[in-house]
Structure 1
Amino acid sequence: MKVTETKLKGVVVVEPQVFGDARGWFMESWSQRKMEAAGIHVDFVQDNQSYSAEKGTLRGLHYQLNPMCQAKLLRATRGAIFDVAVDIRKGSPQYGEWVGVELSAENKRQLFIPRGFAHGFLTLTDDVEVQYKADNYYAPECDGNIRWDDPDIAVAWPLAPTILSEKDQKAPSLRERAATSLNFVYEG
Protein backbone atom coordinates (compact mmCIF):
# COMPACT_ATOMS: atom_id res chain seq x y z
CA MET A 1 0.00 0.00 0.00
CA LYS A 2 1.27 3.44 -0.93
CA VAL A 3 0.06 6.47 1.08
CA THR A 4 0.67 9.94 -0.39
CA GLU A 5 -0.02 13.17 1.51
CA THR A 6 -1.93 15.80 -0.47
CA LYS A 7 -1.43 19.55 -0.10
CA LEU A 8 -3.96 19.44 2.76
CA LYS A 9 -2.37 18.00 5.89
CA GLY A 10 -4.20 14.80 6.89
CA VAL A 11 -5.91 14.24 3.54
CA VAL A 12 -4.09 11.35 1.86
CA VAL A 13 -4.34 9.27 -1.30
CA VAL A 14 -4.18 5.54 -0.62
CA GLU A 15 -3.08 3.27 -3.46
CA PRO A 16 -3.56 -0.37 -2.56
CA GLN A 17 -1.23 -3.04 -3.89
CA VAL A 18 -3.08 -4.95 -6.60
CA PHE A 19 -2.18 -8.58 -7.35
CA GLY A 20 -3.28 -9.80 -10.75
CA ASP A 21 -3.12 -13.02 -12.71
CA ALA A 22 -5.11 -14.86 -15.39
CA ARG A 23 -8.15 -15.02 -13.08
CA GLY A 24 -8.32 -11.26 -12.47
CA TRP A 25 -7.02 -9.32 -9.49
CA PHE A 26 -7.08 -9.03 -5.69
CA MET A 27 -6.39 -6.13 -3.32
CA GLU A 28 -6.85 -5.18 0.32
CA SER A 29 -9.19 -2.18 0.32
CA TRP A 30 -8.65 -1.66 4.05
CA SER A 31 -6.02 -2.79 6.53
CA GLN A 32 -6.07 -1.15 9.93
CA ARG A 33 -2.54 -2.37 10.63
CA LYS A 34 -1.15 -0.84 7.41
CA MET A 35 -3.06 2.42 7.87
CA GLU A 36 -1.79 2.77 11.44
CA ALA A 37 1.75 2.13 10.20
CA ALA A 38 1.15 5.06 7.81
CA GLY A 39 0.04 7.25 10.73
CA ILE A 40 -3.73 7.01 10.21
CA HIS A 41 -5.56 5.90 13.35
CA VAL A 42 -9.29 5.52 12.79
CA ASP A 43 -11.99 3.06 13.76
CA PHE A 44 -14.63 2.82 11.06
CA VAL A 45 -18.20 2.06 12.18
CA GLN A 46 -20.28 2.48 9.01
CA ASP A 47 -19.94 1.55 5.32
CA ASN A 48 -21.88 3.56 2.72
CA GLN A 49 -22.44 3.14 -1.00
CA SER A 50 -23.94 5.50 -3.55
CA TYR A 51 -24.92 5.12 -7.18
CA SER A 52 -25.10 7.97 -9.70
CA ALA A 53 -26.62 7.21 -13.09
CA GLU A 54 -25.31 10.17 -15.09
CA LYS A 55 -22.00 11.87 -15.75
CA GLY A 56 -22.02 15.36 -14.22
CA THR A 57 -23.82 14.41 -11.00
CA LEU A 58 -22.47 16.44 -8.09
CA ARG A 59 -22.84 15.41 -4.44
CA GLY A 60 -21.53 17.92 -1.94
CA LEU A 61 -19.94 19.71 -0.34
CA HIS A 62 -21.15 17.88 2.78
CA TYR A 63 -20.02 17.46 6.39
CA GLN A 64 -21.28 16.32 9.80
CA LEU A 65 -20.96 18.73 12.73
CA ASN A 66 -19.45 17.76 16.08
CA PRO A 67 -20.09 15.60 18.00
CA MET A 68 -20.96 13.41 14.98
CA CYS A 69 -18.24 14.58 12.56
CA GLN A 70 -16.78 11.89 10.33
CA ALA A 71 -13.48 10.81 8.86
CA LYS A 72 -14.00 8.96 5.57
CA LEU A 73 -12.14 6.61 3.25
CA LEU A 74 -13.64 6.74 -0.27
CA ARG A 75 -13.22 4.82 -3.49
CA ALA A 76 -15.02 4.48 -6.80
CA THR A 77 -15.81 0.84 -7.50
CA ARG A 78 -17.51 1.58 -10.82
CA GLY A 79 -16.82 4.52 -13.13
CA ALA A 80 -14.85 7.61 -12.11
CA ILE A 81 -15.24 10.66 -9.87
CA PHE A 82 -13.43 13.88 -9.05
CA ASP A 83 -13.33 13.73 -5.25
CA VAL A 84 -12.86 16.94 -3.24
CA ALA A 85 -11.99 17.73 0.39
CA VAL A 86 -12.19 21.27 1.84
CA ASP A 87 -10.60 22.26 5.17
CA ILE A 88 -13.34 23.88 7.30
CA ARG A 89 -11.56 23.84 10.68
CA LYS A 90 -11.54 27.29 12.28
CA GLY A 91 -7.98 28.45 12.90
CA SER A 92 -6.44 26.05 10.37
CA PRO A 93 -3.64 27.56 8.27
CA GLN A 94 -5.33 25.82 5.31
CA TYR A 95 -8.89 26.96 6.13
CA GLY A 96 -11.01 27.12 2.98
CA GLU A 97 -8.41 25.35 0.83
CA TRP A 98 -9.36 22.31 -1.20
CA VAL A 99 -7.78 19.32 -2.88
CA GLY A 100 -9.25 17.17 -5.65
CA VAL A 101 -8.29 13.66 -6.74
CA GLU A 102 -9.63 11.44 -9.51
CA LEU A 103 -10.79 8.11 -8.12
CA SER A 104 -11.85 5.37 -10.50
CA ALA A 105 -12.53 1.67 -10.68
CA GLU A 106 -9.47 1.44 -12.93
CA ASN A 107 -6.92 3.33 -10.79
CA LYS A 108 -8.28 1.86 -7.52
CA ARG A 109 -7.11 4.93 -5.57
CA GLN A 110 -8.82 5.85 -2.33
CA LEU A 111 -9.00 9.19 -0.56
CA PHE A 112 -8.83 9.47 3.22
CA ILE A 113 -10.50 12.62 4.55
CA PRO A 114 -10.11 13.34 8.27
CA ARG A 115 -12.67 15.00 10.52
CA GLY A 116 -13.14 18.74 10.03
CA PHE A 117 -13.30 18.66 6.24
CA ALA A 118 -16.22 19.11 3.86
CA HIS A 119 -16.46 16.52 1.11
CA GLY A 120 -18.01 16.28 -2.31
CA PHE A 121 -17.60 14.53 -5.64
CA LEU A 122 -18.51 14.97 -9.28
CA THR A 123 -19.12 11.95 -11.51
CA LEU A 124 -16.86 11.86 -14.57
CA THR A 125 -18.66 8.92 -16.20
CA ASP A 126 -22.15 7.43 -16.29
CA ASP A 127 -23.03 4.59 -13.91
CA VAL A 128 -20.81 5.44 -10.95
CA GLU A 129 -20.68 3.55 -7.67
CA VAL A 130 -18.84 5.04 -4.70
CA GLN A 131 -18.15 3.19 -1.48
CA TYR A 132 -16.87 4.78 1.68
CA LYS A 133 -16.19 4.01 5.28
CA ALA A 134 -17.02 6.49 8.06
CA ASP A 135 -15.73 6.58 11.62
CA ASN A 136 -18.99 7.94 13.06
CA TYR A 137 -22.65 7.24 12.43
CA TYR A 138 -24.73 9.52 10.22
CA ALA A 139 -26.81 11.96 12.28
CA PRO A 140 -29.35 14.06 10.32
CA GLU A 141 -29.36 16.76 13.01
CA CYS A 142 -25.59 17.28 12.45
CA ASP A 143 -25.76 17.25 8.64
CA GLY A 144 -24.48 20.34 6.82
CA ASN A 145 -23.37 21.51 3.42
CA ILE A 146 -21.56 24.34 1.65
CA ARG A 147 -22.04 25.64 -1.89
CA TRP A 148 -20.19 23.54 -4.43
CA ASP A 149 -19.39 26.74 -6.38
CA ASP A 150 -18.45 28.98 -3.43
CA PRO A 151 -16.14 31.64 -4.97
CA ASP A 152 -14.08 31.85 -1.75
CA ILE A 153 -13.18 28.16 -2.10
CA ALA A 154 -13.07 28.14 -5.93
CA VAL A 155 -12.94 24.39 -6.58
CA ALA A 156 -11.79 23.81 -10.17
CA TRP A 157 -14.31 21.13 -11.09
CA PRO A 158 -13.19 19.35 -14.30
CA LEU A 159 -16.63 19.74 -15.90
CA ALA A 160 -19.79 21.67 -15.19
CA PRO A 161 -22.20 19.79 -12.91
CA THR A 162 -25.55 19.02 -14.54
CA ILE A 163 -27.36 17.17 -11.73
CA LEU A 164 -27.53 18.45 -8.13
CA SER A 165 -29.95 17.82 -5.30
CA GLU A 166 -32.18 20.70 -4.23
CA LYS A 167 -30.31 20.75 -0.92
CA ASP A 168 -26.97 21.25 -2.70
CA GLN A 169 -28.39 23.88 -5.05
CA LYS A 170 -29.52 25.95 -2.04
CA ALA A 171 -26.43 25.45 0.15
CA PRO A 172 -24.92 28.54 1.81
CA SER A 173 -21.35 29.70 1.38
CA LEU A 174 -18.52 28.72 3.72
CA ARG A 175 -18.51 32.29 5.05
CA GLU A 176 -22.23 32.05 5.90
CA ARG A 177 -21.81 28.63 7.54
CA ALA A 178 -18.76 29.75 9.54
CA ALA A 179 -20.71 32.69 10.93
CA THR A 180 -23.60 30.54 12.11
CA SER A 181 -22.86 26.89 12.68
CA LEU A 182 -19.41 25.42 11.99
CA ASN A 183 -17.93 23.92 15.16
CA PHE A 184 -14.65 22.42 13.90
CA VAL A 185 -11.49 23.74 15.53
CA TYR A 186 -7.98 23.23 14.22
CA GLU A 187 -5.84 21.44 16.78
CA GLY A 188 -2.46 21.67 15.07
Structure 2
Amino acid sequence: MKFTKTNIAGVDLIELETHEDNRGFFARSFCVDELGDNGHDFAVHQANLSFNHHAGTLRGMHYQAAPVGDPKIVRCIAGRIFDVVIDLRAGSPTYCQWTGAELSAQNRKSFIIPEGCAHGFITLDENSEVMYLMGAPFEANLAAGVRWNDPAFAIDWPITPSLINDRDANYPDYERQK
Protein backbone atom coordinates (compact mmCIF):
# COMPACT_ATOMS: atom_id res chain seq x y z
CA MET A 1 0.00 0.00 0.00
CA LYS A 2 1.32 3.41 -0.99
CA PHE A 3 0.19 6.40 1.10
CA THR A 4 0.21 9.91 -0.36
CA LYS A 5 -0.45 12.86 1.93
CA THR A 6 -3.07 15.38 0.82
CA ASN A 7 -3.39 19.04 1.76
CA ILE A 8 -5.55 17.98 4.75
CA ALA A 9 -3.79 16.60 7.82
CA GLY A 10 -4.76 12.96 8.39
CA VAL A 11 -6.33 12.46 4.95
CA ASP A 12 -4.24 10.19 2.74
CA LEU A 13 -4.79 8.82 -0.74
CA ILE A 14 -3.97 5.10 -0.74
CA GLU A 15 -2.83 3.25 -3.85
CA LEU A 16 -2.50 -0.51 -4.10
CA GLU A 17 0.86 -2.08 -4.79
CA THR A 18 -0.01 -4.91 -7.13
CA HIS A 19 1.88 -8.14 -7.77
CA GLU A 20 0.96 -9.08 -11.32
CA ASP A 21 1.40 -12.12 -13.52
CA ASN A 22 -0.45 -13.77 -16.40
CA ARG A 23 -3.41 -14.58 -14.10
CA GLY A 24 -4.02 -10.99 -13.02
CA PHE A 25 -2.80 -9.40 -9.81
CA PHE A 26 -2.77 -9.69 -6.04
CA ALA A 27 -2.73 -6.68 -3.72
CA ARG A 28 -3.22 -5.94 -0.06
CA SER A 29 -6.12 -3.48 0.28
CA PHE A 30 -6.22 -3.18 4.07
CA CYS A 31 -3.52 -3.66 6.71
CA VAL A 32 -3.71 -2.37 10.28
CA ASP A 33 0.10 -2.39 10.57
CA GLU A 34 0.65 -0.37 7.38
CA LEU A 35 -2.05 2.08 8.42
CA GLY A 36 -0.35 2.46 11.81
CA ASP A 37 3.07 2.94 10.19
CA ASN A 38 1.51 5.84 8.28
CA GLY A 39 -0.06 7.50 11.32
CA HIS A 40 -3.55 6.01 11.18
CA ASP A 41 -5.09 4.19 14.15
CA PHE A 42 -7.97 2.44 12.41
CA ALA A 43 -10.03 -0.63 13.19
CA VAL A 44 -12.97 -1.72 11.04
CA HIS A 45 -16.29 -1.59 12.87
CA GLN A 46 -18.57 -2.15 9.87
CA ALA A 47 -18.53 -2.08 6.06
CA ASN A 48 -21.07 -0.20 3.92
CA LEU A 49 -21.87 -0.10 0.19
CA SER A 50 -23.41 2.72 -1.82
CA PHE A 51 -24.74 1.82 -5.29
CA ASN A 52 -25.66 4.64 -7.66
CA HIS A 53 -27.58 4.09 -10.89
CA HIS A 54 -26.86 7.40 -12.60
CA ALA A 55 -23.81 9.51 -13.42
CA GLY A 56 -24.14 12.91 -11.76
CA THR A 57 -25.51 11.50 -8.49
CA LEU A 58 -24.20 13.51 -5.55
CA ARG A 59 -24.09 12.13 -2.00
CA GLY A 60 -22.82 14.30 0.83
CA MET A 61 -21.32 16.11 2.46
CA HIS A 62 -21.81 13.92 5.56
CA TYR A 63 -20.09 13.49 8.90
CA GLN A 64 -20.89 12.16 12.35
CA ALA A 65 -20.66 14.70 15.16
CA ALA A 66 -18.77 14.20 18.42
CA PRO A 67 -18.57 12.33 20.66
CA VAL A 68 -18.63 9.42 18.15
CA GLY A 69 -16.87 10.55 14.97
CA ASP A 70 -16.80 8.30 11.93
CA PRO A 71 -13.34 7.66 10.50
CA LYS A 72 -13.53 5.76 7.24
CA ILE A 73 -11.72 4.32 4.26
CA VAL A 74 -13.57 4.91 0.99
CA ARG A 75 -12.98 3.09 -2.29
CA CYS A 76 -14.91 2.98 -5.58
CA ILE A 77 -15.32 -0.68 -6.59
CA ALA A 78 -17.39 -0.14 -9.77
CA GLY A 79 -17.48 2.87 -12.07
CA ARG A 80 -15.90 6.23 -11.19
CA ILE A 81 -16.50 8.97 -8.63
CA PHE A 82 -15.01 12.30 -7.68
CA ASP A 83 -14.54 11.96 -3.92
CA VAL A 84 -14.29 14.99 -1.61
CA VAL A 85 -13.22 15.49 2.01
CA ILE A 86 -13.69 18.73 4.00
CA ASP A 87 -11.77 19.36 7.24
CA LEU A 88 -14.32 20.47 9.86
CA ARG A 89 -11.96 20.14 12.83
CA ALA A 90 -11.91 23.58 14.48
CA GLY A 91 -8.31 24.34 15.41
CA SER A 92 -6.90 22.23 12.58
CA PRO A 93 -4.41 24.08 10.35
CA THR A 94 -6.51 22.95 7.38
CA TYR A 95 -9.91 23.83 8.89
CA CYS A 96 -12.54 24.41 6.17
CA GLN A 97 -10.19 23.27 3.40
CA TRP A 98 -11.13 20.45 1.04
CA THR A 99 -9.37 17.85 -1.04
CA GLY A 100 -10.70 15.68 -3.82
CA ALA A 101 -9.62 12.90 -6.15
CA GLU A 102 -11.06 10.60 -8.75
CA LEU A 103 -11.54 7.12 -7.32
CA SER A 104 -12.43 4.34 -9.73
CA ALA A 105 -12.59 0.59 -10.10
CA GLN A 106 -9.73 0.97 -12.58
CA ASN A 107 -7.32 3.07 -10.49
CA ARG A 108 -8.23 1.24 -7.23
CA LYS A 109 -7.35 4.29 -5.11
CA SER A 110 -8.97 4.99 -1.76
CA PHE A 111 -9.10 7.79 0.79
CA ILE A 112 -8.57 7.35 4.51
CA ILE A 113 -10.61 10.00 6.29
CA PRO A 114 -10.30 10.85 10.01
CA GLU A 115 -13.20 11.76 12.26
CA GLY A 116 -14.13 15.42 12.14
CA CYS A 117 -14.12 15.55 8.35
CA ALA A 118 -17.14 15.68 6.05
CA HIS A 119 -17.23 13.31 3.08
CA GLY A 120 -19.15 13.15 -0.16
CA PHE A 121 -18.88 12.25 -3.82
CA ILE A 122 -20.37 12.70 -7.24
CA THR A 123 -20.62 9.77 -9.64
CA LEU A 124 -18.87 10.16 -12.99
CA ASP A 125 -20.17 6.89 -14.47
CA GLU A 126 -23.47 5.06 -14.37
CA ASN A 127 -23.70 2.10 -11.99
CA SER A 128 -20.94 3.31 -9.68
CA GLU A 129 -20.50 1.51 -6.37
CA VAL A 130 -18.60 2.77 -3.34
CA MET A 131 -17.36 0.68 -0.41
CA TYR A 132 -16.83 2.22 3.02
CA LEU A 133 -14.84 0.63 5.83
CA MET A 134 -16.14 2.41 8.92
CA GLY A 135 -14.10 2.87 12.07
CA ALA A 136 -17.10 3.56 14.34
CA PRO A 137 -20.75 2.55 14.62
CA PHE A 138 -23.39 4.68 12.93
CA GLU A 139 -25.24 6.90 15.41
CA ALA A 140 -28.32 8.37 13.68
CA ASN A 141 -28.70 11.11 16.31
CA LEU A 142 -25.16 12.35 15.51
CA ALA A 143 -25.53 12.30 11.71
CA ALA A 144 -24.82 15.75 10.24
CA GLY A 145 -23.74 17.40 7.04
CA VAL A 146 -22.78 20.50 5.12
CA ARG A 147 -24.05 21.55 1.72
CA TRP A 148 -22.12 20.36 -1.34
CA ASN A 149 -22.03 23.87 -2.85
CA ASP A 150 -21.58 25.92 0.33
CA PRO A 151 -19.46 29.02 -0.46
CA ALA A 152 -17.56 28.47 2.81
CA PHE A 153 -15.72 25.62 1.06
CA ALA A 154 -15.90 26.53 -2.67
CA ILE A 155 -15.49 22.92 -3.82
CA ASP A 156 -14.53 22.64 -7.49
CA TRP A 157 -16.78 19.78 -8.59
CA PRO A 158 -15.92 18.37 -12.05
CA ILE A 159 -19.59 18.21 -13.10
CA THR A 160 -22.90 19.66 -11.93
CA PRO A 161 -25.08 17.18 -10.01
CA SER A 162 -28.13 15.85 -11.83
CA LEU A 163 -29.46 13.88 -8.84
CA ILE A 164 -29.27 14.85 -5.17
CA ASN A 165 -31.66 14.22 -2.29
CA ASP A 166 -33.46 17.03 -0.47
CA ARG A 167 -31.47 16.66 2.74
CA ASP A 168 -28.11 17.02 0.99
CA ALA A 169 -29.33 19.90 -1.19
CA ASN A 170 -30.73 21.91 1.71
CA TYR A 171 -28.14 21.93 4.49
CA PRO A 172 -27.83 25.54 5.74
CA ASP A 173 -24.75 27.68 5.12
CA TYR A 174 -21.84 26.56 7.30
CA GLU A 175 -20.85 28.84 10.16
CA ARG A 176 -17.13 28.70 10.95
CA GLN A 177 -16.26 27.78 14.53
CA LYS A 178 -13.79 29.98 16.35
* Separation of aligned partners in 1, 2:81 and 2:65: 25
Mapping of 1:43-82 within 5 angstroms?
43-82=43-82
Q: Which residue of 2 aligns with 1:169?
A: 169
The RMSD of aligned alpha carbons is: 1.4
In structure 2, stretches of 5+ residues that fail to align are none
User: Offset at 1:21?
Assistant: 2.4
1:85 counterpart residue number: 85
Deviation at 1:22, TM superposition (A): 2.5
Contact 1:145 1:172 in 2 (8 A): no
In structure 1, distance between residues paired with 2:41 and 2:16: 17
Give the drift of 1:156: 0.1
**Segments of 4+ moved more than 6 angstroms:** none
List alignment gaps of at least 5 residues for structure 1: 180-184
Distance in 2 between residues matched to 1:82 and 1:58, nearest whole Å: 10
Preserved contact between residue 7 and residue 94 of structure 2 (Cα < 8 Å): no
1:106 maps to a residue whose letter is Q
In the TM superposition, what is the alpha-carbon distance from 1:173 to its structure 2 partner? 1.9
Indicate the SS of the match to 2:74: strand
Instruction: Give the aligned length.
Output: 178
| TM-score, reference length from structure 2 | 0.96
Q: Do the aligned partners of 1:7 and 1:99 also contact (CA within 8 Å) in 2?
A: yes
1:112 and 1:139 mapped to 2: Cα distance?
20
1:174 is paired with a residue of what secondary structure? coil
The 10-residue stretch of structure 1 (153-162 or 22-31) with the greater mean CA deviation from structure 2: 22-31
Matched, 1:11 2:11: yes
Identity of aligned residues (%): 38
Q: CA deviation at 1:174?
A: 1.7
Q: Normalising by structure 1, report the TM-score.
A: 0.91
